Amino acid sequence: MSVKHNVASSSLVQTAKSGVWEVLNMKHANLFSKKITQDESLPAAQAMLYGTGLKEDDFHKAQVGIVSNWLEGNPCNMHLRALGDRIKKSVKKQDFVAFQFSTISVSDGIAMGTNGMRYSLPSRELIADSIESVVNAQHYDAVVAIPGCDKNMPGVLMALLRINRPSIIVYGGSIASGSFLGNKLDIVSAFEALGKRNMKKISNQDYKEIIQRSCYGAGSCGGMYTANTMACSLEAMGMTLPYSSSSIAVGSDKERECDKVGSAIEKILYNNIVPKQIVTKSALINAITLAIALGGSTNLILHLLAIAQTAFIDLTIEDFQPINNKVPYIGNIKPSGNFLMEDVHAIGGIPSIMKYLLNEGLLNGDCMSVTGNTIGKNLENVEPISFYQKVIYPLHHPIKKCGNFLILYGNLSSKGSVAKITGKEGLSFSGEASVFDSEEEVNRAILANKIKNGKVIVIRYVGPKGGPGMPEMLKPTAYIIGAGLRVALITDGRFSGGSHGFVVGHITPEAQEGGEIALVKDGDVITIDTKRNTITLEIDEGELCDRRKKWKFPNLKVSSGYLYKYAKIVSSASYGCVTDKI
């Protein structure tokens, strides 16, 4: 069938059976850049472009912006500029002009457990705003984005959806594992080592060795934490080339991916295949399905809600539970499992898992992708996954018959909360509350051995406004695991993809806005029931009402700067913590 679009003098045909988009005429792809390069009333702009080294012939070529979240001080991002250089060569081979630029990144691993972590989630908005600003101001015709750390992925995609020009995302890739005493190490090994040393389970020397060996060069944290969860989701959506999410950061596979970008951007640029054609509700459901099957991070929910709002797609927090209930958990990957992304890549990568889910009727193969083909077409020649390995389980013999995500409601979370429960922690937990108004307080209590088994730890005033910035509670959950405590933890903050245990986050309304979590007192009994998907403060309504009357709105923790602006305009976690839907 013929499909109309706004690229002059070209047309587009899709063969229904093959799902392949074919170029009929490849002219005039410089729709946006020509507003600068061809307008005689803009001599200064053209003079500046000559100053960058452009020649006369270049002024008729399409311009591709290549943006990376390059950051020298973080393994996740320190190699992205080199990937950008390689991608630039690939793009220029197609006779396009290519300009690199960069945007920010906040290292969660470095900021974790400090006040710097308050900037992590807000950095997503800065990333999106900055890319939108540069691409629109510079009039680039297409974009290649190269993210690395956690918030990079949703940040770049939100920008690309706002801009809605032909775009490809190239994931920076995962870090290779470290090793100590025959055990694979990653960043969470370092966090958990402190709890183990504190309980005298390991020596000071072993503790130091684990820290020194946990991060083995460039790449994002290696488990199914937030970075890899989001990267896999981007691939399932069709916004990356196949294998992008599972290929390791340093090596020939990632280099070959970069070399393919030029021809891929040429195809989608001439065909005007834009992000909003790719990121549909069906594509988001594909992303949720894959992430649930692999045991991904709860941050996925936060980010996909934000992505959906950016793309004007009707996706709500209630949409996640039905998908979770029908998709088995089959990924034996850290933090809940034993393996890393390098092991996933070794058994065929994310495409082999996607093909398996597609053949079993769990993915929609008709969704478009940045290859110019449908997801189904991309997977046609992928080798089927073999189950003579322990990384991915078959659907008929899963780790768990449903996913780990739970959306819980109750008198503690009237607007919803998010849990990630594998089942090995149990299906319910009831205990007396130990209440803390900051992460720092609970960390000190755990390390001082003041937390007893059976307690429900409550960390509040760490939500989007209360944090501000909704910091992750990886440090306390890692300490809990390292110390071997049998407790539950609930918070209006969020969790790293590296967190595991009986934990519930994203509790809304948050404490800063008068949510019920602000009314909990030490010794109150809290019950979490994952069969009924409820979280309940076990006191009568009269007592709750009395406490609510006495509660007063606290001042924000900040009074100026970016976090102050963020706290004033950010939406709740149940709406994705966006700042552009005021």
CA distance 9 to 22: 15
List the structure tokens of 12.
Answer: 């587009």
76 is in an annotated binding site: yes
What letter would DSSP give residue 248?
B
Residues contacting 113, CB < 8 A, separation 6+: 439, 443, 474, 475
150 is in an annotated binding site: yes
**Beta 525-529 vs 20-23: how paired, if at all?**
unpaired
Amino acid residing at 301: I
Helices then strands (H, E): number in the chain? 21, 17
- Please, is 396 exposed, middle or buried when counting C-beta atoms within 10 Å of its C-beta (0-12, 13-18, 19+)? exposed
CA distance 327 to 362: 8
H helical segments located in 413-499: 439-447, 474-483
Give yes or no: 246 in active site: no
Residues contacting 257, CB < 8 A, separation 6+: 170, 241, 243, 244, 247
Query: Which of helix, strand or coil describes residue 386?
Result: coil
Burial code (b: 16+ CB inside 10 Å, e: under 16) for 113-125 equals beeebbbbbbbbb
CA distance 4 to 183: 56
Which residue among the candidates 177, 220, 244, 496 is catalytic per the annotation?
Answer: 496
H helical segments located in 297-374: 299-310, 320-326, 341-346, 349-359
> What is the rounded (10 degree) CA torsion for 262, 268, 271, 277?
-170
Closest CA to 311 of 348, 274, 340, 339: 274
472 is in an annotated binding site: yes
CA distance 473 to 438: 10
User: Using CA of residue 98, residue 99, residue 100, residue 102, what is the dihedral sign?
Assistant: negative
Q: What are residue 548's phi and psi, to 5 degrees?
A: -65, -35
**Beta 2-3 vs 12-15: how paired, if at all?**
antiparallel
Angle between helices 281-294 and 349-359 (to 10 degrees): 110
529 is in an annotated binding site: no
Distances (CA, A) of 462 to 153, 260, 347, 457, 566: 23, 43, 40, 14, 14
Tokens 């992590």 sit at which residue? Answer: 120
Distances (CA, A) of 243 to 44, 170, 247, 306: 43, 10, 6, 25
540 is in an annotated binding site: no
CA distance 368 to 376: 9
What letter would DSSP give residue 64?
E
Tokens 């053209």 sit at which residue? Answer: 46
> What is the rounded (10 degree) CA torsion for 575, 576, 577, 582?
-50
Binding positions for Mg(2+): 108, 150-151, 472
Binding positions for [2Fe-2S] cluster: 76
Binding positions: 76, 108, 150-151, 472
- Catalytic residues, by residue number, are 496
